[in-house]
């Protein structure tokens, strides 16, 4: 069963005419396209259309993967243009970027500062939280994942919260949880940039597998954490938010 997640997921799609092909015609009527995309879990919130580049921005449902997003945007848009009689085709290579309210460095710094902001009565509890929090500097979130269909900048900020806000210091949960996360990421094709622990939740900054939706990634994290804990330590409501080198504000949203 897929998880209910709390999310704000925004993707941009950049498409170019095939090399050597004719330029793009004027933009089609988006009214029918928007209705079709809505059925796919996509809501268009912005568009910039020129003869050599189309840039569109969408709010996404959590069950839509970047690869599926690419297929639906490009397929339906190409069909609409063919109906207008155009011979222009989009290049096989497109660019997809997950964006949000914060940039990569802001999210990384936010995770780094979690323990400093925590108001813990017991300093001895603060220390292990800081010790178990980790960064993985070899992972560069501004590098895209490349597939045959395009380049994907697919960064997610994930937050898993314990059930009833119980503290993870009991039953040796801290070492179990933190040992589990890198293995979970590697097994899911996910690049882990950082993890930060708080008494009752864990933050992760990751580059996701573009074939998997945020809902699938959140679900696999939830199952992995509870499996290693040996009980239902974590709630089935996981936060997932997109972020990138650019913010929504930079593109006028």
d(CA 253, CA 248): 5
The Cα diameter of the chain in Å comes to 70
Q: Is residue 19 part of a domain?
A: yes
Both structure tokens of 176: 């179990």
Of 98, 118, 146, the position where a domain reaches its end is 98
E-state strands within the chain: 5-8, 10-15, 42-49, 54-60, 94-99, 134-135, 145-147, 150-153, 155-162, 191-198, 201-207, 234-243
At residue 225, the pLDDT reads 94
Distance CA 196, CA 36 (A): 40
* pTM of the entire predicted model: 0.88
Cα gap 83→128, rounded to integer Å: 62
Q: Do residues 136 and 236 share a domain?
A: yes
Examine the fold and report which residue of 58, 83, 98 is the final residue of a domain before the chain moves on. Answer: 98
Considering the domain boundaries, does residue 170 fall inside one? yes
If asked whether residues 108 and 210 sit together in one domain, one would say: yes
Q: Is 74 in the same domain as 126?
A: no
Same domain flag for 207 and 108: yes
**Residue 55 and residue 153 in one domain:** no
User: What is the number of structural domains in the chain?
Assistant: 2
Residue 177 is part of which domain span?
Answer: 101-249
CATH number of the domain to which 243 belongs: 3.30.70.1290
pLDDT of residue 98: 92
Say which DSSP state 205 is in. E
Same domain, 117 and 91: no
The predicted structure's pLDDT at residue 125: 63
Altogether, the residues listed in the chain come to a count of 253
Ramachandran region, residue 66 (left: φ > 0; alpha: ψ -120 to 50; beta: rest): alpha
pLDDT score, position 169: 67
Determine, yes or no, domain membership for 2.
no
Q: Give the span between the Cα atoms of 234 and 157, in whole angstroms.
A: 17
**28 and 106, same domain (yes or no):** no
Answer whether residue 1 is part of any domain. no
SS (H, E, C) 56-116: EEEEECCCCCHHHHHHHHHHHHHHHHHHCCCCCCECCCEEEEEEECCEHHHHHHHHHCHHH
Over its length of 253 residues, how does the chain's per-residue pLDDT go in tens digits?
556 677 779 999 999 998 878 899 999 999 999 999 999 999 999 999 999 999 999 999 999 999 999 999 999 999 999 988 888 888 888 899 999 887 777 787 777 776 555 555 456 666 777 777 888 989 998 899 888 878 999 999 999 999 988 877 655 788 888 889 999 999 999 999 999 888 888 999 999 999 999 999 999 999 999 999 888 889 988 999 999 887 776 665 5
Last residue of a domain, one of 72, 98, 124: 98
């Amino acid at each position: 069963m897929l998880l209910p997640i709390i999310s704000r997921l925004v993707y941009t799609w950049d498409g170019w005419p095939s090399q050597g092909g004719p330029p793009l015609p004027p933009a089609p009527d988006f009214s029918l396209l928007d209705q079709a995309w809505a059925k796919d879990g996509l809501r268009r919130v912005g568009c910039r259309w020129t003869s050599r580049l189309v840039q569109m921005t969408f709010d996404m449902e959590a069950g839509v993967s970047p690869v599926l997003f690419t297929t639906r945007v490009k397929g339906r848009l190409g069909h609409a243009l063919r109906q207008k009689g155009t011979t222009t085709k989009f290049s096989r290579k497109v660019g997809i970027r997950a964006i949000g309210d914060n940039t990569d460095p802001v999210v990384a710094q936010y995770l780094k500062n979690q323990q400093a902001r925590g108001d813990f009565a017991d300093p001895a509890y603060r220390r292990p939280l800081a010790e178990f929090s980790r960064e993985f500097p070899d992972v560069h979130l501004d590098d895209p994942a490349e597939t045959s269909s395009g380049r994907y900048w697919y960064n997610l900020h994930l937050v898993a919260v314990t059930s009833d806000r119980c503290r993870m210091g009991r039953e040796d949960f801290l070492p179990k949880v933190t040992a589990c996360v890198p293995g979970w990421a590697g097994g899911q094709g996910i690049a882990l940039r950082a993890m930060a622990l708080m008494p009752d939740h864990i933050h992760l900054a990751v580059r996701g597998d573009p074939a998997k939706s945020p809902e699938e990634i959140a679900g696999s994290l939830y199952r992995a954490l509870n499996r290693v804990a040996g009980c239902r330590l974590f709630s089935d409501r996981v936060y997932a938010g997109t972020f990138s080198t650019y913010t929504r504000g930079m593109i006028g949203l």
